[in-house]
Copies of this chain bind each other. A is one copy, B any other.
Amino acid sequence: MKSHTHYLWFTTKQRQEIIDITEQVAEQVRESGVAEGLALVSAMHITASVFVNDHESGLWADILKWLETTIAPWDAKRYRHNETGEDNAAAHLRSLTIGHEVLVPITAGKLDLGPWQRVFYGEWDGQRKKLRIHRRRCAVSSPTSHGPY
Contacts and interface: CB of A to CB of B under 8 A. Distances in A.
Nearest to A89: B62
Interface footprint category on A? 35 or more
Nearest to A55: B46
Contacts of A36: 3, 5, 143
A115 B51 CA distance: 21
Contact of A63 (B5, B53, B54, B96): B96
A96 to B, nearest CB: 5
Interface in A1-20: 1-3, 5
A132 to B, nearest CB: 18
Interface in A68-82: 70-72, 79-82
Q: How many copies does the complex hold?
A: 3
Contacts of A100: 52, 102
Contacts of A105: 5, 40, 42, 139, 141, 143
A70 to B, nearest CB: 7
Contacts of A113: 44
A90 to B, nearest CB: 9
B37 A62 contact: no
B114 A53 contact: no
